[in-house]
Amino acid sequence: MTESLFIGLMSGTSADGIDAVLTAYDGHKIKVIASDHQSLAPSLRQEILAFRQPGENELHRAATLDSLLADEYAKSVHSLLLTAQVSPADIVAIGQHGQTLRHYPDGETPYTVQVGDPNRLAELTGITVVADFRRRDIAAGGQGAPLVPAFHRAQFATPGVATAIVNIGGIANVSAVSAEGSVTGWDTGPGNTLMDAWIAGHQAAAFDQAGAWAATGAVIPDLLEGLLKAPYFGRAAPKSTGPEAFHLEWLGTFLSGGESSVDVQRTLLELTVESIAHALKTSSPATVRICGGGANNTFLMARLSERLSPANVTTTEAVGIPPSWVEAAAFAWLAAQTVAGDPGNVPAVTGALAERVLGGIYRGRSRAQDQHTSLAH
C-alpha cells in the first residue's frame, strides 16, 4: 500500500512546548520521518497553567489563547516541513490535539476544553486539520481520554505477548494489551506534573534533569501513604484526570511544612512509580514500553524497572519511535483514522457507548483557491 503523509501535533499538560512529527502511514503502522520541537514563550506557558484554577475573564483569555496557540502550531508545522523538505501540498492532514485547559468528564455536565483554533491553523498552513478529538467520545458517554491506546495497540503490541505502554507526560496513562490483543487503559495519575511544579518552586528549574535531585532525597512514608489514598487512585476504570486535580495546592493539604524539599521531590517520584505499578498489577505484562518526557528521567526509569520486575522495561525507542514523539505520532494516526472514516476510540478504555469516528475535519486551502483569491484582489 502507498504511504500517506500525516503530521501530528501535541502540546501536553506540562505546556512546555509543541511536539510536531511528520509521519508516513501505510494503513497499519506509522513511521516517523521528521520531528520538531518548539518551546512556548514563558508568558504563554504561564497563561496556560493559570487555567488550572478558576480565574477572572476566562472566556476572553481562552479565546485569545485559542488564536495565539494556532499561530504557534502553524510555526511548528512550517518548521517541520522546512526540516523535511516537504511541501504542504503533500500532506494529507494534520492531527492536532490542542492544548487542554480543563478536563471534567465526571461532572453533572461533562466537558473537556482544548484550544488552538483548527480553522486558523488550516488557514495559516493550507493543510487540512483534524482536531477536537475528545469531545465526540465524551458525547458518547466516555471520558474523552486516554485516546492513545488504540494507537499503542496498532503500533507496539506483539501478538502472544502481554504488553503495556506507559506514557509519562504531565499526567501518566497506561495501555495494557493482552496476549490475545484486547486493550484496556486509563490515566494512572500524576506523571511529571507534581515533580515539575515542586522543583520549579524550590530549585527554580523547569524539571528534574534525569531525576538527579530526587535521587538525593528519601521517600517520606507517611506522605506517600497519604497521597496514595486520594480517591482517584481507588476508582475503577474507565477514568481520566488532569493537573486540575493534581496540583501544588492539593499537595499542600498533605504537608506539615517541616518536610525537606528534596525528600518531597523523591516522594513525588515514588508516587508516579507506585500509581503506575498499581495500574499494571492485574495485567502483569511481560514487556513494558515507556514513552513521554518521563522516559528521559533516568532515576524514574530505574525505579520503574525495579518496581515492575520481572517485566522487561524499555522505552519505545526499542520499537522504532523515540519516546518524546509517541504522543504526537498518535495524533497523526488518529487523524488518518478520521480521514478514512474509521473509529479512533476504544470503548473499553474510555467508557464510551461504542466506537466513534473522532474529531472534526477542517479543510485546507487548495492552490486553486489561493489563485482565485489573488485574482479577485
pLDDT of 10 strictly over 70: yes
Q: Using alpha carbons, list the distances in angstroms from residue 344 to 88, 280, 334, 339.
A: 25, 23, 6, 11
Which residues touch 67 (CB under 8 Å, ≥6 apart)? 117, 120
Which residues touch 345 (CB under 8 Å, ≥6 apart)? 136, 137, 140, 142, 147, 150, 352, 355, 356, 358
The predicted-structure confidence for 268-281, as pLDDT tens digits, reads as follows 999 999 999 999 99
> Range with the lowest mean pLDDT among 54-58, 92-96, 122-126, 263-267?
54-58
The predicted-structure confidence for 189-228, as pLDDT tens digits, reads as follows 999 999 999 999 999 999 999 999 999 999 999 999 999 9
At residue 376, the pLDDT reads 43
pLDDT of 373 strictly over 50: no
Domain topology for 149-325? Nucleotidyltransferase; domain 5 (3.30.420)
DSSP label at 19? E
Q: CA-CA distance, 38 to 41, in Å (whole number)?
A: 9
At residue 375, the pLDDT reads 38
pLDDT-derived band at 371 (thresholds 50, 70, 90) equals very low
At residue 374, the pLDDT reads 46
Which CATH code for domain 4-144+326-376? 3.30.420.40
At residue 2, the pLDDT reads 83
Which residues in the chain are classed under CATH 3.30.420.40?
4-144+326-376, 149-325
In the chain, the percentage of residues whose pLDDT exceeds 70 is: 97
C-beta separation of 193 from 279 below 8 A: no
